[in-house]
Amino acid sequence: MNTLLQKLQDAQNSQELEAFRIEGLGKKGIITQKFSELKSLEGEEKKNLAKELNEIKQKFEAIYWAKKSQFQINELKTALLEEKIDVSLFQSISHRSIGHPISYTKDRIIDYFMHLDYELCVGPLVEDDFHNFSALNLPDFHPARDMQDTFYFKDSMLLRTHTSPVQIRTMETQTPPIKMICPGATFRRDYDLTHTPMFHQVEGLVVDKGDKASFANLKYTLEDFLKYIFGNVKIRFRSSFFPFTEPSAEVDISCVFCQGNGCRICSHTGWLEVLGCGVVDEYVFEAVGYKNVSGYAFGMGIERLAMLTCGVNDLRSFFETDLRVLEQF
């Protein structure tokens, strides 16, 4: 632990600093793992270790943020010097404006569902606990709440962790049949190669009277949609769990990087997970006062689809607004 603190202290640049942060506090980091050992302890032993670990974590974070801001200032100074533009120079190459890969992917998703007559819905980014969690069958203290590291405000308000609350808001204000999608920003406390604290999702919801909206409809729609986005890939539905759907599934496509043969990106499985879906749980209908209806829902991360279609493996490059990167798409 002390060596790690020392390493962090000695980091020479942001890349090294980030690597050491992940070594300590990343999902599989040394400190994170030590925290998970707390589960198996009890009483004094647990209390002491927790205290010790929290102290280390605080020290670690203090060094990290101090070094990070120092590097950021230095890097900005160097960049300002190196990237100085002489605006008086004649520019012979003109640049066409291009769409950002995330907007482009979002527009393609919207296009597909607009052609199927889905309505485009929106909802607030600052949500209440009821719409983001309870109405979606995630009552207080439900362990599945941990799946979504939430930014909280006072009074049970929060930054929405997914676009699923818009399902609830739409059902509260409309009567079936409903066919809607909701693209928008979502927020979670997460930051690494494939996660940023702000990201985008598209939610889909179909509700109809009686038992008209079935899993078969859902499967057909998503298969056709994924062929539209990714071309000729294999698709599989893997049974999974979401509190708001039953049955639930995650959908995988054959790896677009190795054509399903197995590579580092697909963890040698040949498959990449691209979205979650399922048949709307009865508890959700109960929360909005719906009776005698059936429905299905799905949710996908726009960044994830954009990374896979653009062949990008560091999500952060989408947000750095460096035209040299963005112009390549």
Please name which of 245, 247, 244, 206 lies closest in space to residue 225, comparing C-alpha atoms: 206
Q: Mark the segment that binds ligand DAH (CB under 6 A) among 26-34, 47-55, 270-278, 304-312.
A: 270-278
Contact, 255 vs 272, CB < 8 A? yes
Q: Determine if 176 is a binding residue for ligand DAH (CB under 6 A).
A: no
Pairing of strands 119-120, 178-187: parallel
Check binding of 123 to ligand DAH (CB under 6 A).
Answer: no
DSSP codes of every residue in 40-66: G--HHHHHHHHHHHHHHHHHHHHHHHH
Q: Which residue is nearest to ligand DAH (CB)?
A: 299
Distances in Å between the Cα of 275 and the Cα atoms of 81, 89, 202, 235, 243 are 44, 48, 10, 11, 15
Kindly tell me which of 101 and 278 has the beta carbon lying closer to ligand DAH: 278
Q: Taking the complex as a whole, how short is the minimal distance between the CB of residue 300 and ligand DAH, in angstroms? A: 7
Pairwise CA distance, residues 195 & 188, whole Å = 9
**According to CB under 6 A, which one of 165, 243, 276, 295 is a site residue for ligand DAH?**
276
Complex with ligand DAH: residue 124 or 260, whichever CB lies closer: 124
Residue numbers 244-263 binding ligand DAH by CB under 6 A:
245
Q: 241 vs 329, which CB is nearer to ligand DAH?
A: 241
Number of chain residues interacting with ligand DAH (CB under 6 A): 11
User: Which among 52-60, 172-180, 273-281, 309-317 is the span making contact with ligand DAH, rule CB under 6 A?
Assistant: 273-281
Dihedral pair phi/psi, residue 295, rounded to 5°? -165, 165
Nearer to ligand DAH, 53 or 147 (CB): 147
**Main-chain dihedrals φ then ψ at residue 175, nearest 5 degrees:** -115, 150
Token pair of 301 as six digits? 């991360």
φ, ψ (nearest 5 deg) of residue 266: -95, 20
**Nearest Cα to Cα of residue 60 among 24, 91, 87:** 24
Q: Is 203 in the site for ligand DAH (CB under 6 A)?
A: yes
| By the rule CB under 6 A, 242 interacts with ligand DAH | yes
CA 185 to chain centre: 10
- Taking the complex as a whole, the smallest distance from the CB of residue 227 to ligand DAH amounts, in Å, to 20
Told to check if 164 binds ligand DAH by CB under 6 A, we report: yes
Nearer to ligand DAH, 21 or 188 (CB): 188
| Residue nearer to ligand DAH on the CB measure, 176 or 299 | 299
| Nearer to ligand DAH (CB atom), residue 17 or residue 181 | 181
Told to check if 162 binds ligand DAH by CB under 6 A, we report yes
What are the backbone dihedrals phi and psi of residue 118, each rounded to the nearest 5 degrees, phi first? -75, 145
Residue located via tokens 């990237």: 83
Return the number of the residue (62 or 122) whose C-beta is nearest ligand DAH. 122
Beta bridge partners of 178: 207
Cα 38 to chain centroid distance, Å, stands at: 28
Residues of this chain, 282-311, that bind ligand DAH according to CB under 6 A: 297-299
Question: Which chain residues interact with ligand DAH by CB under 6 A?
Answer: 162, 164, 203, 242, 245, 276-278, 297-299
